[in-house]
Amino acid sequence: MNFLQEIARRRTFGIISHPDAGKTTLTEKLLLFGGAIQEAGAVKSNKIKKGATSDFMEIERQRGISVATSVLAFNYKDKKINILDTPGHKDFAEDTYRTLTAVDSVIVVIDVAKGVEEQTEKLVSVCRMRNIPIIVFINKLDREGKDAFDLMDEVEKKLGLQVTPLSFPIGMGYDFQGIYNIWEKNINLFSSDSRKNIEDVIAISDIQNPELDKIIGDKAASKLRDELELIQEVYPEFDRERYLNGTLQPVFFGSALNNFGVRELLDGFIEIAPSPRAKESDTRLVAAEETKLSGFVFKIHANMDPKHRDRLAFIKIVSGTFERNKLYTHVRLGKSLKFSSPNAFFAEKKEIVDISFPGDIVGLHDTGNFKIGDTLTEGEIMNFRGIPSFSPEHFRYINNADPMKAKQLEKGIDQLMDEGVAQLFTLEMNNRKVIGTVGALQYEVIQYRLEHEYGAKCSYENFPVHKACWVKPEDPKNEEFLEFKRIKQKFLAHDKYGQLVFLADSDFTIQMTQSKYPTVKLFFTSEID
Ligand code: G4P
């Protein structure tokens, strides 16, 4: 197979959902289809169960599992599929946002009874910011839930999407009979036997065919005909171009637990989902088909063994091929590096590979060279964009609790921030360090890891901040900006990259500041240009 064929057959995507909607179950069923695992239950859930907030062993277990399931690759038909795992727990949402910079498309799983939930809204809004093609999978049709049309309405309104169904349920819950595949014009009758063969589908090319009444009953048949008519009137016809540019989202229905509707989803997915897409860098758009390597780090995972401080940096290949033992340029450090044992990921195991293609993820052993967002090239000086930080929701001062271990603490904080565990802000006035996180759980993770991996102790102190706003003055020399800096001095800090940040204590303060200093622009993500 040549280089271009290798690119064309790759599908790199993420599955996102609010916890409990069925992401893990769906992932597992997809792997079963790919023959990557033999039995159900092989994919471990990466979620931290409720009540385990202070259970450090649970956190450690979670880290171990999440490295094992970070990338799940398998072949299906003639395609190479890479599923990038996204943590479900909301305290780890930052990790998910970053992973979304490395996917070419996503599948959003929605629980038919719960509809659009909070975490779904946040994650989809990040996908929309980047025009990532989205497929919606409505799950748990074997249970009573919301009416399919109401639910599609809710998806459109709450997520700001425009949807069109490619499959449609016949009944629901107790009356769930199966799924009409609008895309292929056939019916798959529901059976809760997950080993059910796909050959069981019944082709119904003409929905008026009286056979339909015999199969699903008169009442259900006439309801289905009405519903399909309504779909034709109300929803746009599926248009792949619109799906690819993020303006139309196809919807599939099913029951992941019963392995039902999953094959339709997967077959539809491999046909319509994009192969590796071009990516914007700070200098130009880089196409996957270019022969020179480029790629970027989207995730760093510390090794589980605290005695060996090495880490695994996950690189998404954007263009060219990544080859073992070849010299590549680490753009930020201006260094040439080669890697003797790049890992590729296959379902649950990782192995050393000689060559990887655009869309693939390679794991590189790292002793501290990489930060999230770093770019590798064959010499070209450019950096991939689109790895923003969002304002954290919790802020605390971090203090050294063991004066003998100040160096260890500093190193530990530095490395954990490189991994993207949390965000560090250094106050301009007194150099005190403030840690910002998405969830309270991260403080425990940081404290635990500082102690066990770096031998340092820390304590926290509350810092009443509502939001971090990245600051960009229209003119850094004008009087307004200088006054802003003088008046707000106590609340100004620098992030890890030295960007100026205003730590505001309330939305009211933000509004007041914006109206008082209109030329000082405040941004809620770090991607401010
Ligand atoms: P998540 O990764 O999105 O958090 O969800 P996960 O797959 O772990 O699924 C959450 C719960 O929903 C699980 O039940 C799972 O068995 C159930 N589930 C997933 N898909 C379906 C479906 O199509 N129909 C029905 N009825 N249930 C489904 P649990 O009891 O919380 O977990 P477990 O003890 O079964 O593992």
ipTM: 0.97
Residues with Cβ < 8 Å from 419, sequence gap 6 or more?
300, 301, 302, 311, 372
Query: CATH 3.40.50.300: which residues of the chain?
Result: 3-169+237-277, 280-377
Choice from 16, 20, 86 to test ligand 1 binding pocket (greatest atom count within 8 A of CB): 20
Q: Are 366 and 111 in contact (CB under 8 A)?
A: no
Q: Is 95 annotated as a binding residue?
A: no
Rounded Cα–Cα distance for residues 523 and 149 (Å): 37
We find that the CATH architecture of domain 3-169+237-277 is 3-Layer(aba) Sandwich (3.40)
Q: How many angstroms separate the alpha carbon of residue 21 from the centre of ligand 1? A: 7
Q: How confident is the model at residue 68 (pLDDT cuts 50, 70, 90)?
A: low
Q: Is 17 annotated as a binding residue?
A: yes
First to last CA, the chain: 41
* Class of CATH domain 394-523: alpha beta
Rounded Cα–Cα distance for residues 16 and 508 (Å): 33
pLDDT for the residue numbered 199: 47
Q: What is the pTM of this model?
A: 0.85
Shortest-distance Cα residue to atom 26 of ligand 1: 140
Per-residue pLDDT of 17-29, as tens digits, reads 998 899 988 988 8
Query: CATH 3.30.70.3280: which residues of the chain?
Result: 394-523
Which pair of structure tokens corresponds to residue 51? 């009540």
Rounded Cα–Cα distance for residues 506 and 107 (Å): 35
Shortest-distance Cα residue to atom 24 of ligand 1: 140
Beta strand ranges found along 156-306 (DSSP E): 163-165, 167-170, 178-181, 186-189, 202-203, 249-253, 279-280, 285-286, 294-302
List all residues whose CB is within 6 A of at least one atom of ligand 1: 17, 19-25, 45, 47, 88, 139-140, 142-143, 255-258
Choice from 257, 259, 263 to test ligand 1 binding pocket (greatest atom count within 8 A of CB): 257
Shortest-distance Cα residue to atom 25 of ligand 1: 140
Q: Is 164 annotated as a binding residue?
A: no
Q: How many angstroms separate the alpha carbon of residue 422 from the centre of ligand 1? A: 29
pLDDT for the residue numbered 55: 47
CA distances from 297 to 80, 363, 426 (A): 21, 9, 24
Mean pLDDT computed over 171-186: 86
One-letter amino acid for residue 436 of the chain: G
Q: Any idea which fold 280-377 has? A: Rossmann fold (3.40.50)
Per-residue pLDDT of 453-480, as tens digits, reads 889 999 999 999 999 999 999 999 999 9
Residue 474, Cα to own-chain centre: how many angstroms? 33
Rounded Cα–Cα distance for residues 375 and 331 (Å): 6
